[in-house]
Amino acid sequence: MSHLSFSVIIPTLNEAPNIAPCVAAVRDLDPHVEIIVADGGSTDGTAALAAAAGALVVAAPRGRGSQCNAGAARASGDVLLFLHADTTLPPDAFVLLRDIFSDPAVRIAKFRLSFDVQHWLLDIAARLMWFDSLLTSFGDQGIVIRSDFFAELGGFPDWPLFEDVRLFELARARAEVHVVPAEVVTSARRFLENGVLQQLLHDLWLWLQYLFGVSPYELSRRYEQGRAELRGMV
């Protein structure tokens, strides 16, 4: 099924330094893929830069889940790839994806993870995310999903946090989450800004609270509070 079409959806909020290179990098990998930037109200010119780079720009309510849903609503591809603006796909991404999704039983996949800096703790964390589980599958890795399956699941929940984890949960209940044998490279900027160990522990603590049923809205409030505290520590 080499004729499979792909739509790459990039949610953005004030990503001016990253968005044009991100769009160009995707276009270089495959000039035929549809690229949609779902902007959540950027004030730094992100939307204009994305349009100038050749992406279709969709305005959406702020929030990664709602932005991704808005992008998906405009997408025409058979397969949707949700990509963060600070994440780079591997050179053979679409070759691998066309091969994997040529099997009609494959409904959702993610890439392996790596970071753009070398740090032993980040290396361990990234390697753990080469497997699929509730703790090791996140949007940073690129979520690749058939458009009809995405619609069947109801899209992302309109949550301020953990919308990616929830989508994987819903999908995992109905299908296997395949892992693409290639690595995306994502920015470690928040780890560098806040301290690697502190950020990892903070993320783990949030995840444990989510697992025990704390509302994503309350977690978002705690996340923002935690970010402020981390910034004060470094």
Domain map (residue ranges) of the chain: 6-187, 189-234
147 vs 223, more confident: 147
Cβ atoms within 10 Å, residue 182: 16
pLDDT for position 38: 98
Residue range 181-192, pLDDT digits in tens? 999 999 999 999
Average pLDDT of the residues in 35-41: 97
Which residue, among 38, 36, 44, has the nearest Cα to 12 in the 3D structure?
38
Instruction: Say which range, 52-61, 176-185, 221-230, has the weakest mean pLDDT.
Output: 221-230
pLDDT band at 223 (very low <50, low <70, confident <90, very high): confident
Cα angle at 119 between 114 and 122, to 5 degrees? 50
Average pLDDT over residues 218-233: 74
H-assigned helices in 12-146: 16-29, 46-52, 64-74, 93-100, 120-128
pLDDT of residue 222: 77
Q: What element of type H or E holds 186?
A: strand 177-186
Residues in contact with 70: Cβ distance below 8 Å, sequence separation at least 6, in sequence order: 38, 58, 59, 60, 61
CB contact at 8 A, 140 and 88: no
What's the token pair of residue 234? 């470094």
Task: Report the distance separating Cα 17 and Cα 6, nearest Å.
Answer: 25
Q: Higher model confidence: residue 234 or residue 65? A: 65
pLDDT of residue 1: 43
Starting at the edge strand found earlier in the chain, the sheet holding 108-115 runs: 56-59, 34-39, 6-12, 79-82, 143-146, 108-115, 177-186, 87-88
Rounded to two decimals, the pTM is 0.93
Which tens digits make up the pLDDT trace of 64-107? 999 999 999 999 999 999 999 999 999 999 999 999 999 999 99
Q: State what percent of residues in the chain have pLDDT above 90.
A: 84
- Rounded to an integer, what is the distance from CA 209 to the centroid of its chain? 21
Over residues 42-54, mean pLDDT: 98
At the topology level of CATH, where does 6-187 sit? Answer: Spore Coat Polysaccharide Biosynthesis Protein SpsA; Chain A (3.90.550)
